[in-house]
Structure 1
Amino acid sequence: MLTQWYLDAANTLLAQTVQLNIALPEMVVLVPNFQAGQLLVRALTQASGRAVLLPPQILTLPAWAETVVLEDIAVLPDSRRTVLLYQSLKQHAWFDEDALWPMSLELGRLFDELTRQALGLPETAEAFGEQLAMAYGTRTQTAITFEACLVHELWYALVARPQEGVSPAALYVMQLAALARTASVPLCVLYESSLDRQERLFLTAYAHRQVVIRLPAPQGDDATACLRVAWTKGSSLHARAQELACRMPGSPWQGRLQLTGTYGLESEAQAAEAQIRLWLAEGRQRIAVVVQDRLTARRLRALLERTQILVADETGWTLDTTVASAGIMRWLDTVRADFPYPDVLDLLQSQQCCADWQATQREQVISHLQGWLRKHGPVHGWSAWLAVMKAHAVDDPLHQVLLRLHHAAEPLLSQRERALPAWLDVLEDSFRQLGGLMHLSQDQAGAQLLTLLSTRKQELRHVSGLTLNLQEFCRWLDHALQGAQFVDSRVDSPLVFTHLAASRLRDFDAVLLLGADARQWMPSGANSVFFNQSVRATLGLSTQTELLEQFEQDTAALLAHAPVTRVLWQLRQGDEDNPLAPGFERLDLLHQMAWGTSLRDTSLLQWVRPGLAQTGTSAGSPRPVAHTRLIPEQISVSAYRSLMDCPYQFFIRHVLGLSAQDDIRADMVKSDYGQVVHAILHDFHRAFPRVTDLSTDAAEAALQAISRTHFSRFSDQDFFVRAWQARWREKIPNYLQWQRDREQDGWCWHEGEIDAARTWAVDDQHHVTLKGRIDRIDSGVHGWSVLDYKTGATNTLKQDAKSADESVQLAAYAVLAAQAVGGDAMIAQAAFVSLDDVATLTVAVDESPPMIAACSAERLVSLFKAMYAGTPLPANGRTTSCARCEVRGVCRRDHWLA
């Protein structure tokens, strides 16, 4: 919709060249961005009627200023200025050390604004100093708050030192002065409203020596007038709406602007992807996504690239969010934390560690190390890792990896303080020994990272008097990476991710605004962590209100020039409502008052995956069908229980085989305690099948000794081990009394930890085998007793015993016990042995063990028949089962029940 404006601008320029009797190349045209320059060249070619046209010099004002070389002017890089500010703040000890780097960066930004607000257009370095001194004297009288005084004093102290050089902001002002002083060609300016104070002063000064043509901004249509009415503060919005409706019987925004609230990040990203695909299907090519929400933008980009839709991302992202930066910071964090095992495992899984190794070789080392840690327990501290390294042969890959970590960490582990360039040398050498430097150089973001660090090393080499420890260096590096931008320049696509200021005078077929909520759709220039708006006002700097005016002007221009715009935002952030940005809220309210309809539109949500659009109906639980080839022929008792509790859990864990690996635990937990108690009782009863043959003291001493042996296999430094051991020792007398009572009732320990299995035919082609390990079988006058030790809550065991046909465990063990002691053996009792309470209790099933065993076997066969017949395995777990289910993330129960 800007095509006609560019043609008018081109005709104006051509007419001016005739009037001034010059050729186009003898004129300079200032544009807000280079994309606008390309559109102007196209319009000039069309307006001239020529096939080939020599265009004028088309530049942005900063790019033109960079062509000016000022002799004898030293420049103070931003990085060196930040370090000098840090040094000054640290010496005064006014603030916490954690805040010094971010405060130094924010002070630097404020200094640039102060410099540009304070200066006119100085012609010489001496004039520059005089203007600074005058501004300092004037502002000293008004800077009454501590924060304002701090900023002002540090600013003047820094910029008034010529030996350090001028800041890039001051250099820019001086370059503008030089351009104005040597003005030699006519100048044309597009979109003058985006210029700041110094830049407008420059135009005034330039006009004293040469012609300056100021092209008016594109005139808005009825839609622009509607925006102006909605966003202008003053009289009643209702009255303005009625007046607008009288002037415009039809809405200028109907069909051009839709406001769509979504239900979270994924929903917003999917809605954005759907809208872009719909626009592409309509033949729209030049599509802009104006990004205020970087997280959603990254997810949207991933969704688009999955379907081969490429994105030219002009916004980029901060370098610290790239994989390259994460690898370096992960390494430094691991060293600083003294190599905790989770960090070491995470580091080894990174491609930046041992990048010269084959992926399979690295995976084998990681698998071996994980197994070693599960067996021997977690490791923390470099001295402990050295012991692990020495426990493996020199040619063992794990030994070689740990040795490489040792050599790479040595220079970092030194307690010395170093200057920043020295730290950067140490970091480079350390990462080279780690094997990650080559990987960084082959990655685009990694290459930019290495270039950044090399540049910083050169810029900071003359800083004296400041040395940092490792922690301070890591803080500096973290903020340096946050302040650097990574832009992937390899992609050329008509679909662009951009920011609002970069959209000025650009022509798009469609515009998508991402993250248009009240929290994010606002200017970011005046946001401050340490210095609030009152401090900025005291210093004479632009405030949020002034920046908001420019922001709204840019938003209005973008909307007015786009044929169609979709505005997206998330309705909720966590547990809180997330309202639409006030400007769009007022526009929608005005639209309803004037024309009786809302601009809000939910039709796009039909393209969002069910469950994310929250339509009020459940998307339904997953109901997979097990492929015949994947149905297991053997299942354990726990797998049988999984099948009963939740068929979908059984499908994930035992059909697909996606069970999670055991965690490497630093502390003893209840499951470990249960396993130790099982082993203790098994060893004790093997040694003493009849407790009544021992005296009370002898039995207790024997059980205590066996218990100490088993608990000693765990670290005696673990508080939880000592706590669990003390808990078990308290239960020993009661357990022995329970055992004596049981022997008096005619039961005698027969065998423990028995591996048993039983097989049934499912049909002519398939069979199923149930296998399990029985904790204990006792013999008695009336038959056999199968016992299962439990350290869980007694009330839960009682519930399971009452519903033994559903909880499966005791019924399945009864089946296996009959097989273990003899095919037709009589199982007279099936019971849990509760070891949780003070008193040891027998919790037996109420029904006949042979009957529940037969029912359990029959049901197992029928379930497998149904599986082979293609019956779905739905996720229908009980809440109690789902609460501790390890496949809950795959099932997504919380989403389909929402």
Structure 2
Amino acid sequence: MMSAPPISHPADIRWSALTEQIGQRLKSRSVDASRALVLVPYAQLMDSGRRAWAQAHPSGFSPRFESSRNWAASLQPFLPSINDLSGDVARDSLVAASLIDRVGRGRVAPALRPVLVARLVDAARQLGPLAAARPPEARADWAGQMREAMATGGQTLQWEALVASLALAWTSSSVYATDVLWTPLAAPGVAFDDLLVLQGFQPDPLATALAALWGDRVTVLPLHPPTEAWPIASLHACHDAQDEAQRAAACVISLANAGRTPVALVANDRVLVRQVSAQLHGAGLSVRDETGWKLSTTHAAARLMSLLRAADPRARTDDLLDFLQQTRVWPEAQLQSLERRARSLGLAQAASALRHPQLVGSVPLGLPELIAALQAPRPLSQWLPDLAQTLRSCGWWDEWCSDAAGQQIVQTLRLSDGASHELAVLEQGLQEDATEAMRRRKPHMSLAAFTAWVRDALEGASFMAPNTGTPDVVILPMAQLLGRSFAATVAPGCDERHLPASPEPPGAWTPQERSALGLPQREDLALAARQAWEMLIRLPEVHLLWRTQEQGEAVLPSPWVLMLDTAQDGAALAATIDPRERRRLTPEAVVRPGPSSGDLLPEALSASAYQDLRDCPYRFFALRQLRLQDADELEVEPDKRDMGIWLHAVLKLFHEERAQAQAEGAAPDARSDRERIDRLARSTAEHMGLNALSADDGATEGRAGFLPFQAAWPAVCDGYLDWLWKFEASGDRAGPRFAQAELSLRSEAGPYRLIGTLDRVDHQDSPEGVIPFVIDYKTEPRDTTRNRVKAPLEDTQIAYYAALLPEETVRAAYLSVTESRDAGATLLVEQTQVIAARDALREGLVRDLDRVAAGHGMPALGEGKVCDFCAARGLCRKDFWTVT
């Protein structure tokens, strides 16, 4: 016979001792090994126990190594009844909602109901193991004793007391899959003569109860060995979470390259471990995740939730676009057109985008019908086949057939043909158990309620990616390292937040309630955490990692790490060499760009475009020649720019209507002017969707963010009307008078075309004829407006507007409109040298554009405020230029 390999791993040593103890127990009781049952704390230890027994006893029969749930499943299949706690959130949330409705009797607010349902399910899942550890016939008495004990524990809040009472009643009246272990099928001496219970860090209530039932036929053995000397662990103090994830992945990869597999990756921080797992997959390692992650975090679940969010009548356009970008049913070009036009129109509401007349050609065929089909309330049993049909229409159903997460979603939500019958029966049973008032209400579920149910079901389900073959890396909780043999262990997240010495007890139970119910106390959880830690650091080749800061705040190592450092006689906390491979990168200098593109001149030039050329040639190149523009935001609150657009529109309509009234013989007066401008201000704001609900045609949307501007409107209105009356009263028949607003003009400067829109043009009589008076409204700070006219040759806008007019003699001014209640809230700031500025601008514009057309460079010359809010700053990379 070949000798067995030497045993060196602590788990192997412990299993060797356990198998010897089990053998001696069976021998002393003259029990055949095949008639013995060994209960392990969790299912992954069943194979470990079988291998350890086979190695110690290569011939003969073996005891059965089972977890309590596996043992129960092998004896009898389980099908929960209507009101049973099943562990399936999709079912349990419906039962919990029914219990809340029955007991609340209409006192529960609709907004509070989902919160109470979620808390009731969570509380019931915590009490479930305690109830299952009592024989079915004794649960009613147990519940009564628990209720009395909780009543003497002090006063609790109304809703917390309701949840606790319902959870206790629900769990004590439920039937569990493990109830078969209390029947004659699992009685001592029927299938097994001896029961051996391997106990983990925390005692299992059911295993403890079964041990009491079996009496002298049971043996309880601790699975974890006594504390031994601590070996030296590799300690890694990382800078932040990203650094920690990279270093943890590097540790695992270096161990795998050295042949030390499988490697155990401890999931102290699930978010961090997900990042590490992604890096390991990228390195080609096979990873088995035994902790799983929420089904709701998978790509398939994100797709499903995007569909339900888009179908909501209050959905934002961003929600609709998010859904469309994940489908392949409609042409990509059509979706891009829809997004571009919706952004240009500022349609933040999806309903407005689907109905807007300018988007008719861009809305994908069948999309409005698909969205509308999911908005009507209906029973859950009807929701499920309708949702399945919608998934087929989106093209996702066939994709999910080859996607493990998609298949689990179909199974969890009962979306396959005929699967919804289970929930239909459940709905009917709950309806029959309901009160008469509840039975009179139709059991219809709104889209919002159905979306909440889907979200809860996906949040409560755990997804584990399928694995084949022997993994290189196994992700697992720290406590499940117990009894398992790994070549090396990497444990990130060993900081004070993710690995505290005293873990926070789960649930909303008070310490008195936890004590009365038999739930683990904080001290019990702390002891179990300490035992798990002591087991971890006795393992061979252990790497412990933690971050020293998170989001700018300092983070300390876990107290266990600090104690470990002391126990190792000062073996440095951060003395381990960084396992990441280092690469030498040669920096490349980023120089100031200076492109040239003489063949990309715009067909026409606006004032703002020429201002860009004067401010920074590269900005003109990027934004005007290449036509690179930021995408318009959909979700934006009204700002000063919106106020300016609104004010321009109000003043245009005001003066046009006022001029029409004067032409019809009505003399202007203060009262009619104020009534007119107030009326136009309200109607314009409603039309622009700034202060009202959407219009019937869906073209406008409501925005509460405009309220501050509405509050400032009285001061703006008073200031403007005061100026207007004085402006008109100070002149004679030859003075300026309103002629036109929002006047679009075209002009020529050499071979180049100029375009622009003038806010307002007045006419002034003179001996030479009518002189146009250009007035440009400004809502900027008053000092900014005054500074514009101090250097006539530097101010582009007013000179450019004068250049658009065919007349040689013009006047031009800025009209500063502010909300100040002091005198001069509206002030006319005239550019007295506008003709000279206009002529200089025409000459300079032709010269500048001739240079651009000739291919001269377009360097990035902007400075100061020009660069602060420049859309092309990231393109010219000014922040990374090399200074020479």
| TM-score under structure 2 length normalisation | 0.70
SS in 2 for 1:542: coil
Structure-2 residue corresponding to 1:797: 785
SS in 1 for 2:546: strand
Query: CA 1:65–1:758 in 2, change beyond 3 Å: closer, same or farther?
Result: farther
User: Does the CA contact (< 8 Å) of 1:633 and 1:769 recur in 2?
Assistant: no
| 1:754 Cα deviation from its structure 2 partner | 3.5
Deviations 1:241-274 (A, max 9, x none): xxxxxxxxxxx34xx1223341xx5555455455
Q: Does 1:534 pair with 2:512?
A: yes
Which one of the candidate residues 452, 458, 462 is aligned to 1:481? 458
* Aligned positions of 1:410-809 closer than 5 A: 410=376, 412=377, 418=379, 420-425=380-385, 427-428=387-388, 437-438=397-398, 441=401, 443-454=403-414, 458=422, 460=426, 462-463=429-430, 464-466=432-434, 467=443, 469-470=445-446, 471-490=448-467, 493-522=471-500, 527-569=505-547, 571-573=549-551, 577-588=554-565, 590=566, 594-595=569-570, 597-599=572-574, 625=593, 633-634=601-602, 638=608, 658-664=628-634, 670-675=640-645, 697=667, 715=686, 718=691, 723=710, 730=718, 731-732=720-721, 734-735=723-724, 738=727, 752-755=743-746, 788-799=776-787
AA partner of residue 779 (structure 2) = T
| 1:105 Cα deviation from its structure 2 partner | 0.7
AA partner of residue 811 (structure 1) = T
Give the Cα separation in 2 of the matches to 1:90 and 1:708.
50
Structure-1 residue corresponding to 2:128: 112
Q: Does 1:144 pair with 2:117?
A: no
Give the Cα separation in 1 of the matches to 2:272 and 2:612.
38
User: Does the CA contact (< 8 Å) of 2:598 and 2:853 recur in 1?
Assistant: no
Which one of the candidate residues 341, 349, 352 is aligned to 2:324? 349
Query: CA 1:565–1:370 in 2, change beyond 3 Å: closer, same or farther?
Result: same
What is the percent sequence identity of the aligned residues?
A: 21
SS in 2 for 1:840: strand
Structure-2 residue corresponding to 1:245: none
* Aligned positions of 1:809-820 closer than 5 A: 810-811=795-796, 814=799
Most deviating of 361-370 and 545-554: 361-370
AA partner of residue 368 (structure 2) = L
SS in 1 for 2:629: coil
User: Does the CA contact (< 8 Å) of 1:68 and 1:175 recur in 2?
Assistant: no
User: Does the CA contact (< 8 Å) of 2:85 and 2:92 recur in 1?
Assistant: yes
For structure 1, list consecutive stretches of 5 or more residues without a partner in the other structure. 123-127, 225-251, 611-618, 761-767
Q: Does 1:91 pair with 2:122?
A: no
AA partner of residue 630 (structure 2) = A
Which one of the candidate residues 236, 245, 252 is aligned to 1:258? 236
User: Does the CA contact (< 8 Å) of 2:197 and 2:207 recur in 1?
Assistant: no
| 1:709 Cα deviation from its structure 2 partner | 8.0
Structure-1 residue corresponding to 2:702: none
Which one of the candidate residues 203, 206, 230 is aligned to 1:198? 206
| 1:5 Cα deviation from its structure 2 partner | 4.1
| 1:546 Cα deviation from its structure 2 partner | 0.7
| 1:489 Cα deviation from its structure 2 partner | 1.8
User: Does the CA contact (< 8 Å) of 2:777 and 2:815 recur in 1?
Assistant: yes
Query: CA 1:608–1:804 in 2, change beyond 3 Å: closer, same or farther?
Result: farther
| 1:339 Cα deviation from its structure 2 partner | 3.7
Query: CA 1:167–1:568 in 2, change beyond 3 Å: closer, same or farther?
Result: same
SS in 1 for 2:373: helix
Query: CA 1:324–1:475 in 2, change beyond 3 Å: closer, same or farther?
Result: same
| 1:88 Cα deviation from its structure 2 partner | 3.2
| 1:561 Cα deviation from its structure 2 partner | 0.9
| 1:681 Cα deviation from its structure 2 partner | 7.1
Which one of the candidate residues 182, 200, 204 is aligned to 1:174? 182
Which one of the candidate residues 822, 827, 835 is aligned to 1:840? 827
| 1:803 Cα deviation from its structure 2 partner | 7.2
User: Does the CA contact (< 8 Å) of 1:651 and 1:873 recur in 2?
Assistant: no
Deviations 1:593-630 (A, max 9, x none): x42844487968998999xxxxxxxx999877476679
Give the Cα separation in 2 of the matches to 1:282 and 1:868.
60
| 1:536 Cα deviation from its structure 2 partner | 0.8
Query: CA 1:567–1:664 in 2, change beyond 3 Å: closer, same or farther?
Result: closer
AA partner of residue 113 (structure 2) = E
Query: CA 1:820–1:843 in 2, change beyond 3 Å: closer, same or farther?
Result: closer
Q: Does 1:314 pair with 2:290?
A: yes
User: Does the CA contact (< 8 Å) of 2:311 and 2:374 recur in 1?
Assistant: no
AA partner of residue 67 (structure 1) = S
For structure 2, list consecutive stretches of 5 or more residues without a partner in the other structure. 1-5, 435-442, 693-705, 820-824
User: Does the CA contact (< 8 Å) of 2:612 and 2:620 recur in 1?
Assistant: yes
Give the Cα separation in 1 of the matches to 2:561 and 2:850.
61
SS in 2 for 1:223: coil
Deviations 1:762-783 (A, max 9, x none): xxxxxx9998666679999999
Structure-2 residue corresponding to 1:616: none
Most deviating of 790-799 and 20-29: 20-29
Give the Cα separation in 2 of the matches to 1:772 and 1:306.
55
SS in 1 for 2:238: strand
| 1:631 Cα deviation from its structure 2 partner | 10
Query: CA 1:523–1:745 in 2, change beyond 3 Å: closer, same or farther?
Result: farther
| TM-score under structure 1 length normalisation | 0.69
User: Does the CA contact (< 8 Å) of 2:14 and 2:225 recur in 1?
Assistant: no
User: Does the CA contact (< 8 Å) of 2:598 and 2:852 recur in 1?
Assistant: no
User: Does the CA contact (< 8 Å) of 2:650 and 2:681 recur in 1?
Assistant: yes
Query: CA 1:558–1:855 in 2, change beyond 3 Å: closer, same or farther?
Result: farther
Query: CA 1:802–1:530 in 2, change beyond 3 Å: closer, same or farther?
Result: farther
Query: CA 1:644–1:76 in 2, change beyond 3 Å: closer, same or farther?
Result: same
SS in 2 for 1:112: helix
Most deviating of 131-140 and 529-538: 131-140
Give the Cα separation in 1 of the matches to 2:880 and 2:180.
54
User: Does the CA contact (< 8 Å) of 1:625 and 1:873 recur in 2?
Assistant: no
Query: CA 1:839–1:603 in 2, change beyond 3 Å: closer, same or farther?
Result: same
AA partner of residue 133 (structure 1) = D
Structure-2 residue corresponding to 1:238: none
SS in 1 for 2:326: coil
SS in 1 for 2:291: coil
Structure-2 residue corresponding to 1:233: none
